[in-house]
Structure 1
Amino acid sequence: RRGPGDSFRASIPLYYSKPSFRQAKQPSMKLGGRRFGGQKKGSSRWKSKAHAQEGDTGESNSNLPTPLPQPIKESQPHWVEEFADPLQDGQDSVESQLVPGEAGVGFFGLVSESELVREDGLPLLRQGNPEVKQSAVGVPMYVALPLGAISHDNKLRSRKALRAALRALKLVGVEGVTANVWWGLVEKEGPQSYDWSAYEHLISMLSEEGLKFQCVFAFHQVPDLQGSELPPWVMEVARGNSDVLFTDRGGQRSYDCLSFSVDDRELFHGRSALQMYKDLMISFRNQFASELGGTIADIVVGMGPNGELRYPSYPEDGRWAFPGIGEFQCYDKYMMEDLARHAESIGKPEWGHGGPHDAGSYKQWPHETVFFEQENGGWSQEYGQFFLGWYCGRLVEHGRRVSLASQEVFGMYPVHLLAKVAGVHWWYLSDSHAAELTAGYFNTRSNDGYKDMMQMFKEVGFGVILTCAEMQDDEQPEAARCSPERLVDQVVTSAIDNGVPIAGENAFQRYDAPAHGRILHTAQRLNKSFAFLRMGKSMFEPVNWVKFVRFVQQMKHVRQPEALMALEEAGDDAAHPPLALTFEEIPDSPLEYHKQLNREQHRQLIERQ
């Protein structure tokens, strides 16, 4: 029911479970000022854990997938509409809960997880395992919250809608959620003045709902996303000394994040960039120490633009367009000083005056430059090898410094530390791998650009998250020489060979079978987890929710061929969504729209061939 002035409405269909499930008697509960009774006597379709244990044979049927909820017939009344009161940012109501309707069991599950059991006594929902080891069954699934889940004034947005969504994810078997901890929001007011209030609400909510939290420290900003900006007092320093920012050959500055060259330079009110990152993590640790290793399972440490360990070589501010090669980002004065010292140390001072002058510009293709030419390009010559070794080596060293600082903060806590590696797949099939080189990955036809990085992460005790797990070669424009499949295989193999925990995530929000199939293929080699990007209005559209629920079930049994076959035979009908939840106050992120535009550009590239 919707009243005048309401800004939010969620409609959730209820469902019957399969006959193999039963549930304990439901208590009555108050909803929106009305009281709903529990299930009628004799109508219970579930049984309690105690009853399930009676007559237990001790045999496990864990090799089979958990039966999925079945839709009720259209002729049955099955809608309960929630949230009759207007929803305002920052408001929440523990009293407003969805309860059983006449048709069956309500989606938000008033029964505790311990009571949700199968006929054989096994839990309905898989329990999490805090250890970093490959599951013999499946891969834990996380879902990324919208980039704007925390408002620009550091408030947790739309708590009612968010809680509803979290309960949906929990019920279908999602392990937890991942969300950015924005540096610019938490330390907005001044140096070492931290405000964790929004994240206190979020972590408390996750704890109440039994979900894990993968915390992503975002020491970067996202174009056009209000609230993601770097702290204003940091930007004040940058306005007075723009060399703290990455700079291209033409002198244009990148505002995505701070240059790696200021990691150890005390230019920010007496602190270096690395000290600022570490201090923020220390404050987080002190604030949430009791949740580390519990609700907080993973710490992802941002190490560059978009949180990835790379240079901002392909900015989303209009300078670059897919599949441009990007530009080297080493022209701030501190990077240039370091290059000069390095050139002097090997007896080649003339090589220390700058990067290659013939490496082209952001939107150009490799064959339009001299440096990235296939045959005898500058990248393969002595100077090119020197420069690339220095440029990419500084990226790895930045990753090492940030990782070691993070270990000093969290090393004594039972949490997993991870870093993101970008999926720069365009021009992968060319000899020079130009786009990877400008991003800082020294990966060419003759050099493994991820080996040194993985060895470093092994030494510092970090795991790795790789993007673009859903992308397929045959979807890419042939002219751009893309190969996301081979890139993923190379990075995953390098991680496994070096004993580095490897997790994955998608680059585009997709619900189609080919994308999910590709993720399932890669997931068989992942030994950590998978993060699905991202929660938003489109996820809860009925047609997408059906596919997502089925995908979660497949990921839970990705290493069980018989279980996957059973799910395949069942089709989408077995993965009917237990809800059709729509909400307006947690929108799809602007970043996803930008990426979608880039996806459309893929289809137009053949005209340039």
Structure 2
Amino acid sequence: MRKISYTILAFMLCLVALFSSYSPAQAEVKSDYKLYVMAPLGEVTDWDSFKKQLVQLKESGVYALTTDVWWGLVEGNGDNQFDWSYYKKYAEVVESSGLKWVPIMSTHQCGGNVGDDCNYPLPTWIWDEDSVENMAFKSESGYLNKEALAPWWDEATGQYNELYKSFAKNFADKKSLIVKIYLSGGPAGELRYPSYQFADGWDYPERGQLQAYTEGAKKDFRRAIKEKYATLKKLNTAWGTKLKNWNQIQPPNNGDEFFTSGEAYSSQYGKDFMEWYQGALEDHLQKIAKVAHKQFDSTFNVPIGAKISGVHWKMNDPEMPHAAEYSTGYYNYSQLLDQFKKSDLAITFTCLEMGDHDAYNAPYYSAPRKLVTQIANLANERGISLNGENALPLINNEWGFDNSAEVVFNYNFEGFTLLRMTYLFNDEGNPTNEFNMMRDKLGVKSVPVTFTVNNVPSAAGQGVYLTGARGEIGRWNPAEYEYKLTQNSDGNWSGTFNLGADRLYEFKFVLKDANGNITWQHGDNNSYHTPSTGVGEYSSSW
């Protein structure tokens, strides 16, 4: 009979555990792992109450507070007319609480997105700098969106440079307080297009709309195509068209048909359009990173980062796979993360609280866990600093906290930022249940579990993986988690992974060939309950 033994170790014994050498599934929580909390979106009015709450966060293991620094507030009176008085007081209060501070250079609008409870538009004077057709976004429906500046408006970089320079000058004396700086890359502070916008008639889980219909967008698309093909003859040959001038180049005239017909996936036109569409975001990221490093590095010498949104709800749609991601501007994640690496930027990725089989996602071809692990692996391969967030502004159940913790602790995340501080305290300023779950689940309180499997057939190709799901027997196909084991000198395969305390897991072992196909599996519907403390052993045979 084949034997598999599972030794569950308490934290005091983790030094003697066998550790996996596969970086996306680290055997222990990163030594520099940090827990952050996102501050309320609106302005603080009761500073004493605010400080008391910050002190409670600090005492519960939170490292830093992440705060939107609204462009519309600090430069609202006119170009280069900055007023930092509110944020200077804010920084003093954060510092007095003992927390560190992560300011976000929020060059986007607050209002209109999920969780927005305030209204801070962009400075009104900015729209006098050029035509709105060059500066804003326009969707397939004709809706004009002004919540962020379009990436193809060249003058935006100069405005951001002035903002960054003024911030560095005014907060140079807080360099011991500031531990990281984040850049807003677009709507909701994320590097993306405003494709899923309620004001444009979007509702979850619809695809959202392409945002390439202003004259500025069309001009930039034509520029990119002309740069690639040089002549109309070469362009017509590639696209199978008979265009007579460059101005006949247009974005898709029917977004749904662009996807359902397969044009987005298989035609050269679709490929060229999507590469330009994402490429405009990459160019924007490169520009803001360059001026941010110029203004911040010499003063603060801290990591600079940007955020990618977890657009998960059309990943497995049989009629238009990944259409929500594509509409948002996420066409090729590998290429996008290459730009993060080139620009020396950290990544924050969202939707860590969601599982592939959560009831909220189940009917909609959604795969958030698969997406999170894909981004994590790509970031780890490139050595990019990786941080996580929840997508929705409130995690109100234990399951969501467990999902977040398991991803963070096993996929090399350096930190997790909880949205949002508003939900961590009641009206009296006392901690809520969400506060307690944050402290207990997202602090370093997972249980390291060592797995060993014997009698594995010849493991040519990718190797052996522990695969399964959490919380409910019989729901693990497709797998929710997948961790690679390491082959020992005795020929057996082992790995130690951090799993949530007091949770039920179901698992099996699989062997994959070089193409990722499963060629052998060991175990079927086997489960165990992870203890909080102590040493336990579970064994079975097949």
* Inter-CA distance 254–136: structure 2 relative to 1 (3 Å threshold): closer
Displacement of 1:247 in angstroms is: 1.2
Residue 451 (structure 1) aligns with = 334
* Inter-CA distance 420–333: structure 2 relative to 1 (3 Å threshold): same
- The answer to whether the 8 Å contact 1:139/1:555 transfers is no
1:483 corresponds to 2:367: yes
Measure, in 2, the Cα distance between the counterparts of 1:560 and 1:193: 52
Measure, in 1, the Cα distance between the counterparts of 2:499 and 2:338: 37
1:254 corresponds to 2:145: yes
Displacement of 1:273 in angstroms is: 0.9
- The answer to whether the 8 Å contact 1:176/1:213 transfers is yes
| Partner of residue 202 from structure 1, selected from 80, 87, 90 | 90
Residue 353 (structure 1) aligns with = 249
* Inter-CA distance 203–135: structure 2 relative to 1 (3 Å threshold): farther
| Partner of residue 439 from structure 1, selected from 323, 328, 333 | 328
Identical counterparts, % of pairs: 27
- The answer to whether the 8 Å contact 1:314/1:327 transfers is yes
Residue 389 (structure 2) aligns with = 505
* Inter-CA distance 527–371: structure 2 relative to 1 (3 Å threshold): same
1:495 corresponds to 2:379: yes
Residue 467 (structure 2) aligns with = none
Measure, in 2, the Cα distance between the counterparts of 1:420 and 1:537: 22
Matches within 5 A, 1:334-353: 334-345=216-227, 346=229, 347-348=234-235, 350=243, 353=249
Residue 407 (structure 2) aligns with = 522
* Inter-CA distance 566–244: structure 2 relative to 1 (3 Å threshold): closer
| Partner of residue 212 from structure 1, selected from 80, 96, 100 | 100
* Inter-CA distance 136–327: structure 2 relative to 1 (3 Å threshold): closer
Quick one: which amino acid aligns to residue 229 of structure 1? P
Deviations 1:116-169 (A, max 9, x none): xxxxxxxxxxxxxxxxxx964573111111111x2xxxxx42111101111111
Residue 310 (structure 1) aligns with = 192
TM-score between both structures, scaled by the size of structure 2:
0.70
- The answer to whether the 8 Å contact 1:137/1:560 transfers is no
Deviations 1:51-103 (A, max 9, x none): xxxxxxxxxxx9569xxxxxxxxxxxxxxxxxxxxxxxxxxxxxxxxxxxxxx
* Inter-CA distance 291–501: structure 2 relative to 1 (3 Å threshold): same
Unaligned runs of 5+ in 1: 1-61, 66-133, 151-155, 265-271, 360-368, 443-448, 575-609
Residue 78 (structure 2) aligns with = 190
| Partner of residue 290 from structure 1, selected from 158, 173, 177 | 173
Displacement of 1:278 in angstroms is: 1.2
Measure, in 2, the Cα distance between the counterparts of 1:549 and 1:380: 49
| Residues 555-564 or 407-416, more deviating | 555-564
Residue 228 (structure 1) aligns with = 120
Say which SS state the counterpart of residue 280 (structure 1) adopts: helix
Matches within 5 A, 1:416-427: 416-427=303-314
Say which SS state the counterpart of residue 178 (structure 1) adopts: strand
* Inter-CA distance 353–249: structure 2 relative to 1 (3 Å threshold): farther
- The answer to whether the 8 Å contact 1:379/1:432 transfers is no
| Partner of residue 37 from structure 2, selected from 143, 161, 169 | 143
Displacement of 1:522 in angstroms is: 0.9
1:333 corresponds to 2:224: no
Displacement of 1:498 in angstroms is: 0.9
| Partner of residue 372 from structure 1, selected from 256, 259, 284 | 259
Deviations 1:207-227 (A, max 9, x none): 111101111111110226555
Displacement of 1:426 in angstroms is: 0.8
- The answer to whether the 8 Å contact 2:264/2:274 transfers is no
Displacement of 1:533 in angstroms is: 0.4
Measure, in 2, the Cα distance between the counterparts of 1:414 and 1:63: 34
Say which SS state the counterpart of residue 426 (structure 1) adopts: coil
* Inter-CA distance 566–135: structure 2 relative to 1 (3 Å threshold): closer
Displacement of 1:343 in angstroms is: 2.5
- The answer to whether the 8 Å contact 1:223/1:316 transfers is no
Say which SS state the counterpart of residue 257 (structure 2) adopts: coil
Quick one: which amino acid aligns to residue 174 of structure 1? V
* Inter-CA distance 230–477: structure 2 relative to 1 (3 Å threshold): same
Displacement of 1:540 in angstroms is: 3.6
* Inter-CA distance 167–477: structure 2 relative to 1 (3 Å threshold): closer
Measure, in 2, the Cα distance between the counterparts of 1:227 and 1:526: 36
Displacement of 1:535 in angstroms is: 1.2
1:274 corresponds to 2:157: yes
Displacement of 1:550 in angstroms is: 4.5
- The answer to whether the 8 Å contact 2:133/2:216 transfers is no
Quick one: which amino acid aligns to residue 312 of structure 1? P
Displacement of 1:173 in angstroms is: 1.0
- The answer to whether the 8 Å contact 2:389/2:416 transfers is yes
- The answer to whether the 8 Å contact 1:504/1:531 transfers is yes
Measure, in 1, the Cα distance between the counterparts of 2:421 and 2:407: 22
* Inter-CA distance 282–514: structure 2 relative to 1 (3 Å threshold): same
Measure, in 2, the Cα distance between the counterparts of 1:329 and 1:410: 31
Measure, in 2, the Cα distance between the counterparts of 1:566 and 1:220: 36
* Inter-CA distance 332–429: structure 2 relative to 1 (3 Å threshold): same
- The answer to whether the 8 Å contact 1:558/1:564 transfers is no
* Inter-CA distance 388–320: structure 2 relative to 1 (3 Å threshold): same
Quick one: which amino acid aligns to residue 354 of structure 1? Q
1:170 corresponds to 2:170: no
Displacement of 1:474 in angstroms is: 1.5
Measure, in 2, the Cα distance between the counterparts of 1:417 and 1:527: 16
Say which SS state the counterpart of residue 465 (structure 1) adopts: strand
Residue 25 (structure 2) aligns with = none
Say which SS state the counterpart of residue 181 (structure 1) adopts: strand
- The answer to whether the 8 Å contact 2:187/2:194 transfers is yes
- The answer to whether the 8 Å contact 2:181/2:304 transfers is yes
Which structure has more RCO (C-alpha within 8 Å, separation ≥ 6)? 2
Deviations 1:270-320 (A, max 9, x none): xx211111111111111111222x211110100100010001111132521
| Cα RMSD, aligned residues only | 2.8
Deviations 1:502-537 (A, max 9, x none): 000111211311101100111112432111000115
| Residues 428-437 or 459-468, more deviating | 428-437
- The answer to whether the 8 Å contact 2:314/2:365 transfers is yes
Deviations 1:165-218 (A, max 9, x none): 111111111111111000000001111111111111111111111101111111
